[in-house]
Amino acid sequence: MKWNSYISKKYRNDSSLFYEIIENFDSLGEIIFQERNVLRKIEHSVLGTLAVKSFKKPHLINQLVYANFRKSKASRSYFHAEILTSKDINTPKPIAFFEEINKFRIDSSFYFSNYFEYDFTFRELIEKRNMFADWEFILKEFVQFIFNVHENNILFQDLSPGNVLIKKNNEKKTYSFSLVDLNRMTFQSLSLDQRLQNFIRLSLTDEMIPIIAKEYAKYSNEDFNLIRKQLHIKNNKFIERKVIKNKIKKLLGKNS
């Protein structure tokens, strides 16, 4: 067994501390998210407040692929975060990643970043809309943020409600947005169709679409009606696929 790792320059003299966290991961801090992967918030006396993600062990083929031919999810998360920060696009500051390799297969992997103190996620804008007196203003600022991401030739393929963290800047009366779960990204010049499709996994409401369309048209100098129409079409298709997928899951659950 061996470990592959990359630690940002500031923390390279503290490598032993990261291994201690990995060894005791299941008993440290508090769980922020637990599904396929486990994300913990860990307060450390030397390293500060960390967000540490433990990735689920991949299936056999990907164990071999990630160890030998392709960057692991932990590695991609780190280097994608570095790219974003180099372009002044907010994401929790990357600190390190670690990969446990056993017999040419990846067993486990971890990604360390600074913990980003946020007030809510994009999900709350959808599910708790009435809580926000400045709901429309937040949405408009978000569109400007995503337009800037697109202008930097970045396609964040996991742009979903839980992956957009939002913090209110009380003094400026503005909002900051931070992207997380970065392992699926591509870097290329984007067509308008790709840009609009990128919004769809956010589970947009009918109320959101004309606001997003108007703002994106303003920044992109594209036609508002075209953008609104395309967003409606794409959003409806996404919802239909989601309904069908959920029905299939229920049927499979009943038959199992």
The last residue of a domain, from among 58, 86, 114: 114
73 burial (CB, 10 Å; 0-12 / 13-18 / 19+) is buried
Number of structural domains found in the chain: 2
Token pair, residue 83, equals 């790219």
pLDDT at 24: 97
Pair 108, 127 in one domain: no
Pair 125, 242 in one domain: yes
Q: In 3D, which of 133, 125, 117, 145 has the Cα closest to residue 208? A: 125
Pair 72, 141 in one domain: no
Domain membership flag for residue 158: yes
Pair 216, 124 in one domain: yes
Q: Are 76 and 31 in contact (CB under 8 A)?
A: no
* C-alpha to C-alpha distance for 44 and 48, rounded to whole angstroms: 5
Pair 25, 74 in one domain: yes
Residue type, 139: L
Residue 82's CATH number: 3.30.200
pLDDT at 254: 52
Pair 102, 183 in one domain: no
Pair 239, 151 in one domain: yes
Pair 99, 7 in one domain: yes
Domain membership flag for residue 216: yes
Pair 197, 141 in one domain: yes
Domain membership flag for residue 53: yes
Domain membership flag for residue 251: no
Q: In 3D, which of 89, 80, 92 has the Cα closest to residue 39? A: 92
pLDDT at 4: 84
Q: What are the pLDDT digits (tens) for 24-61?
A: 999 999 999 998 899 999 999 999 999 999 998 877 77
Q: Which domain holds residue 203?
A: 120-246
* C-alpha to C-alpha distance for 175 and 3, rounded to whole angstroms: 39
Mean pLDDT per block of 10 residues along the chain (256 residues) reads 90 96 96 94 97 87 77 95 98 96 87 97 95 96 98 98 95 92 96 98 95 98 98 94 84 63
Residue 224's CATH number: 1.10.510
The last residue of a domain, from among 114, 133, 150: 114
The last residue of a domain, from among 54, 87, 114: 114
DSSP E strands: which ranges in 26-153? Answer: 30-34, 38-44, 48-55, 94-102, 105-114, 120-121
- Residue 147's Cβ-side half-sphere holds a number of Cα atoms within 13 Å equal to 17
Q: What are the pLDDT digits (tens) for 58-74?
A: 777 777 877 777 889 99
Pair 105, 132 in one domain: no
pLDDT at 252: 81
Domain membership flag for residue 255: no
pLDDT at 256: 41
